[in-house]
Structure 1
Amino acid sequence: MTAPTTATDVNQPSLEHAPKTGRRLSLPVLMLVIAGALALTSIVRLITGADGITNVSQMSTALQLAVPIGLAGLGGLWAERAGVVNIGLEGMMILGTWFGAWAGFQWGPWTGVLVGLIGGCLGGLLHAVVTVTFNVNHIVSGVAINILALGATRYLAPLAFEGHQGGSAKQSPAVESLGHFTVPGLSDWLTDLNAKGWFFVSDIAGLLGGLVTDVSWLTLIAVALIPGTWWILWRTPFGLRLRSCGENPVAAESLGVNVYKYKYLAVIISGGLAGLGGVFLSIVANPFYLEGQTSGRGYIGLAAMIFGNWMPGGLAIGAGLFGYTDSLNLRGGSTNVHALLLLGALLLVIGAIWLAIRKKYVQAAVTLVVGALVFAWYAGTNEVPSQVVAATPYVVTLVVLALSAQRLRMPKADGMPYRKGQGK
């Protein structure tokens, strides 16, 4: 006779009977893919002479732009792993920017970090109350929070900032810096190695140099949150219970899990992480709050999470990709984006070959034609219009999601309504 399942079973960090999440790349294979992409980029750099696509300054800027996107994506991951869709990440980031700058210029930057995080948590709490307790559609609630956050900060900004030096109805006074650090010796060596322009080696030096040059302490915290999130959600009983709420809340409740509590915790943490991304924008990226400074990064963070298949590692790669394309706006954008047209054409040709090997001949033909058109664009021009440069991050977001959509699997109960006791 089979022993009955008890509530303590869910405490064991095992997902033996959990649904498959699709094929995942092993770490060695993933490293080979990244190395291959970097080698291809190095070839493009040598052909085009666009050294800026992998220099230290470019990579440092890309890291800075990737951090708020990654934090927003982490926030979305926490909520959706518990079964709550969080379209309101943008609004929670807006709350983080405002509260962080408001507290930062008065009581110091680290106080601003804490208060901005709390501001994001308040947005998450509101989303949890509306979706978990009152069972409102998650998309409707998230959109409402985005609108509410924008309206609230527009109303509060004149009251809080006008009359202070440097403040106005749309901008806060300046906030002191959190400080930056550079690894002495290593940064200079990598910068010199990157300047030599060698194949592959100089490109790796540029990538690593960007990680150790003028790095904010908040960046270090954000990077540490990636493996921290993975460990908590995939290696602890707490994480197992939380993820069970996003896969099968009825089964989780039958095993003694307080589903409401875990959903609330996940969405509040989600808001706090998005708020921390907003703090980064208003204290690190710019030393002041500025109306509209999130610029849709909450939505791009959500896209990075989806690209990463609801996993922290994939999310980090997605955030890095979007941060890199965004950095092209700031450093030699037209020249670099034009060089990346060649990279895009090469990637499309490789993709067409791969599809042909898998006997998907129609898709291979379409991909090859698109690759030929992109190459023709590259060969027939010397630069791209500034409008194309500005749109590059958003175009890359759409393309990446379109290409990766077939391998994705969200948590089974993500976005589904749940009432306590509904399985009885």
Structure 2
Amino acid sequence: MATDQIARIRTYRYTMILMALAVVATIAAVRVITGADRISSPGTLRAAIIAACPILLAGIGGLWAERAGIVNIGLEGQMLLGTWGAAFFAYHHGPYVGLLGAAGMGLLGGLLHAVATVSFGVDHIISGVAINIISLGAIGFLAKSFFEDLEGGGPRNLSGYETLPNITVPGVSDAALSVAERNIFVVSDVAGAVAALTTRVSLLTVLVVVLVVGTAWLLWRTAFGLRLRSCGENPQAAETLGVDVYRYKYVAVMVSGAFAGLGGAYLTMVASSSFTVGQTGGRGYIGLAAMIFGNWRPSGVVAGSLMFGYTDGISLLPNNGPLVRSLLLLIAIFLLAYAVVKYRSTERVTAGVIAAIAVLLLVWFATTDAVPSAFTGMTPYVITLFVLAVAGARLRMPAADGKPYRRGGAG
């Protein structure tokens, strides 16, 4: 590896570390200013992690498909299939088989999308939307057919199945909880994060981390990953080098569906201990947004999922008005910082618009004591749209993403 490339990697890592420290310090400052100690409490952060994981699984699933050149709008439907698969197989065979069932149902949804887009050349958006509609109808039918006569079941729901165990790290968890309760600037905020990551952590959450790290390694550190990503950048060139583009696209979209299915399993076995028709609540779409926000990179998908998961987690907490109010100040600070970056890069108009939005949020924060409860439920979706609008200019999707490909086109 060239010396300048090593230097760039080191600079990038140092920049990321400094940015992470700045984010933690900002959150701590907002906590002190607003008095909203729950903003970084272990309970809030644990709720954020639980809310982020299904979004992250959907986002990483979308990453697999789009890096191979297939737009997978069907993530929402594949997650829906995963919720039913997890509940059905967990009820009859236990939680571990439930995970396999969820992944298998999602994989079937991915296979359907691959057949439509890769083999038959159907428009990716049309195919994905069709899968979402079909999946919602299918799980309604399956729930009524298989759950209605079960104990704890009904035509649209099922409960009473075993869920996955939780893990607590002895010593570390108690120490972190103790420090978090002292409200020490920055220290308690970091301790809150440590406590959330070491107290009653679901085994599936650990699996999510393994899958994300494994995806990053496989797609960016192996020959398989290079070939798969080449299918999303220039499939014709990949074909001339002997890559079976169809096979790689099929594998990518099926893995994408399996990841989305596991996201559905997370909703039915961790976020909740029961199944309900339509349980995803649009999280497949938010996962897709997290992937776009993350610029089609695993680290970016993680950051986007945590951000969206945090807002989603806050919206589900009781008495969350003061928390959402403190979130207004936090977002305003980050927007002002982003406006400065845009201004320094000579994007004066964009910087002005972002700064104006930040000022409006500051005014809202200063003139209210708590945000109305009706708005808190909208928070994740508003943040999703807003972030995509702000970050859209810097995104760079795979060059052949969503474009039709026919074998032999290289000739």
Length-normalised TM-score, structure 2: 0.95
1:96 and 1:59 map into 2 onto residues whose CA distance is 25
**Alignment counterpart, residue 144 of structure 2, candidates 129, 154, 158:** 158
1:40 corresponds to which of 22, 26, 39: 26
Change (3 A) 1:25 1:244: farther
Q: What's the offset of the Cα at 1:370?
A: 2.1
- Provide Cα deviations, 1:62-81, integer angstroms capped at 9, x if missing partner: 11111100000011000000
Q: Does 2:167 align with 1:181?
A: yes
Aligned to 2:6: none
Partner of 1:340: 327
Q: Deviations over 1:128-165 (max 9, x none)?
A: 00000000000000000000000011111111011111
1:20 matched residue in structure 2: none
Question: Which residue is equivalent to 1:421?
Answer: 408
Deviation digits for residues 171-190 of structure 1, max 9, x if unmatched? 01322121001101101111
| 2:73 counterpart (87, 111, 125) | 87
Note if 1:314 corresponds to 2:300. yes
Cα distance in 2, alignment partners of residues 352 and 130 from structure 1: 43
Q: Which of residues 212, 215, 218 in structure 2 aligns to 1:229?
A: 215
Say which of 254, 278, 281 aligns to 2:267.
Answer: 281
- Identify if the C-alpha distance between structure 1 residues 328 and 121 changes in structure 2 by more than 3 Å, giving closer, same or farther: same
Which of 101, 114, 123 is equivalent to 1:115? Answer: 101
Kindly provide the amino acid, as one letter, of the partner of residue 201 in structure 2. Answer: V
Which residue of the partner structure matches residue 29 of structure 1? 15
Instruction: Provide Cα deviations, 1:339-380, integer angstroms capped at 9, x if missing partner.
Output: 111122222332333333334333333333222221111111
Matches within 5 A, 1:23-422: 26-331=12-317, 332-422=319-409
Cα deviation 1:44-97 (Å, max 9, x = unaligned): 100110000100111111111111000000110000000000000000000000
> Aligned partners of 2:13, 2:47: CA distance in 1, in Å?
26
CA deviation digits over 1:91-137, x for unaligned, max 9? 00000000110111111111111111100000000000000000000
- Deviation at residue 25 of structure 1 after TM alignment: 7.8
- Between Structure 1 and Structure 2, how many residues are aligned? 404
CA deviation map 1:20-57 (0-9, x unaligned): xxx99812211211211111111110011000010011
Unpaired runs of 5+ in structure 2?
Answer: 3-8
Q: What amino acid is the match of 1:95?
A: L
The two structures, once aligned, show a CA RMSD in angstroms of: 1.6
Contact kept, 8 Å, 1:233 with 1:243, in 2: the verdict is yes
Give aligned-pair identity as a percent. Answer: 51
Letter in 1 for 2:138: A
Preserved contact between residue 75 and residue 272 of structure 1 (Cα < 8 Å): yes
Aligned-partner Cα distance in 2 for 1:95–1:105: 16
1:307–1:404 CA contact under 8 A, matched in 2: yes
The alignment's TM-score, normalised by the length of structure 1, stands at 0.93
Query: Which secondary structure state, in structure 2, belongs to the residue aligned with residue 327 of structure 1?
Result: helix
Shift of 1:208: 1.7
Preserved CA contact (<8 Å) 1:161 1:173: no
Give the distance between the partners of 1:370 and 1:245, measured in 2 at CA: 40
Partner Cα separation in structure 2 for residue 172 and residue 110 of structure 1: 17
AA partner of residue 261 (structure 1): R
Letter in 2 for 1:283: M
SS of corresponding position for 1:104: helix
